[in-house]
Chain A
Amino acid sequence: MIATLVAAVALVAAQQDAPCTFRLIASVETVKPGASFWIAGEYTMKPEWHVYWLNPGDSGLPTTLDVQLPEGWKIGKLQWPAPHKFDAGGLINYGYERKVLLMAEVQTPATAKPGSYALAAKASWLACKEECVPGQGQGRVKVTLGDAVRPSGDAAAFEAFRKEIPTRTKLTGRAMPTNEGYRLEIQPLGDSAPDEAYFYAASGEALSHAAKQAVSWSAGKLVLDVKRSEYSSKTPEEIRGVLVVVRGKERLAYEVSLGVLTR
């Protein structure tokens, strides 16, 4: 008994000392059979530490979440909030500080019996400040299928992070190969040039992370001159990623897929 307690205390101490802690959370306590809700891995970092986006940039490793569901339940694609950029001595990384939710929509079967169900997940991450510490976590959360809809205590966090997920508003654009890389042209993005814009490529082997992206505005089109990745062995058919546009205090993110023109 004492040994168990000591072990438990040690575990808690280790968790508190860890640069990143993990919880599995659900947006609801109770939903009706056949309804959907959201589940998320919540990664909480100590100040100055970060974990990584699906493309971590020049170093680091992507954060992972692997959810195990009850039989017959279905899960949608993992939604990654728009990443942020970190400069580590000239190397550029893409990721998140403070806290991030990686969420996915869960569909319950209409035929499921009412009752309490357990969902589980495994997560892994590399947390870095100057140094890096890899971490692994496991989480469990219970969701009840009943005749009501009751949000969970974490519902507000879902709402907050949902705003960070890039929108799929149809932006059209293209990528024109240049000597150094590509000229990306994207529209419509309003009537005036944004204060800042940056394109986060989803593949780590498409664009240079460290090269400056030259932003210009031409007749209602946002133009970004970006450098090819040194790991890009052949020209891709399309360049996918997240465009982040800043106007004043507003930071908007768009999921973008740009066809590459042949020269």
Chain B
Amino acid sequence: MNLMLTCLAALAIGSTGTAPVNSAAPTFTLTDAKGAKVSLEDFRGKYVVLEWWNYQCPIVVKHYSSQNMQNLQRKLTGEGVVWLTICSSAPGKQGNVDGAKALEVMAGQKGAPTSILLDPTGEVGKKYDAKTTPHMFLVSPKGELLYDGAIDSIPSSNAADIPKAENYVLKAFEEAKGGKAVSNPKTRPYGCNVKY
């Protein structure tokens, strides 16, 4: 009976968003900035971070001009995490990039994601219900969604807030890696809306 109730609760939550935390992360295949097909399933056995990205959004700029995002990319990829930066800006909308532009912008900022994935139709963004840039997700080695939400605990456009903020992505990864449940698996993302 208890199990039954749990299932119903999970269904109820599922109907409000897209993929509830701790259920299977939606699968996808996208073309990366270098032209290769990249699927989420390619990375079973590894933690995967998904970062929704619009390089012209001031909140994204906050986290790149301060090196906050790049530092996290380097730290986590250094620990074997796959970091996928996804751009769901539609053609003609702010932040929309082709592969060459994506690589140029990311190189200019000394960013270090594993790949930049192009999602100009917004299909994958909508599958994840990505609302803002940035909007961060963490997927477990088994392909379960572990975290869905904000980069950190202080919603602002001011880079001076970063040292005072708790980085939710790092915290979720460290908890999961340590065999613990993610204490704050879903938070409210903040930033510009995704330009679908």
Contact B193 A124 (CB under 8 A): no
CB of B10 to closest CB in A, whole Å: 13
Contact pick for B193, options A59, A179, A180, A227, CB 8 Å: A59
Say if the beta carbon of A89 comes within 8 Å of chain B. Answer: yes
Contacts of B17 in A (CB 8 A): 230
Contact B188 A231 (CB under 8 A): yes
Say if the beta carbon of B66 comes within 8 Å of chain A. Answer: no
CB of B119 to closest CB in A, whole Å: 15
Given A61-B190, A132-B192, A179-B12, the answer on whether A91 and B157 have CB atoms closer than 8 Å is no
How many A residues are at the interface, by size bracket? 20 to 34
Contacts of A133 in B (CB 8 A): 58
Say if the beta carbon of A169 comes within 8 Å of chain B. Answer: no
CB of B112 to closest CB in A, whole Å: 25
Contact A126 B58 (CB under 8 A): yes
Q: How many pairs, one residue from A and one from B, have CB atoms within 8 Å of each other in the complex?
A: 66
What is the CA–CA distance of A91 and B17 in the complex, to the nearest angstrom?
13
Contacts of A90 in B (CB 8 A): 196
What is the CA–CA distance of A130 and B92 in the complex, to the nearest angstrom?
11
Say if the beta carbon of A88 comes within 8 Å of chain B. Answer: yes
Q: What 1/0 mask marks residues of chain B from 166 to 196 whose CB sits below 8 Å from any chain A CB?
A: 0000000000000000000011101111111
Say if the beta carbon of A58 comes within 8 Å of chain B. Answer: yes
Contact pick for B187, options A88, A228, A231, CB 8 Å: A231
Contact A131 B158 (CB under 8 A): no
Given A58-B131, A231-B186, the answer on whether A128 and B192 have CB atoms closer than 8 Å is yes
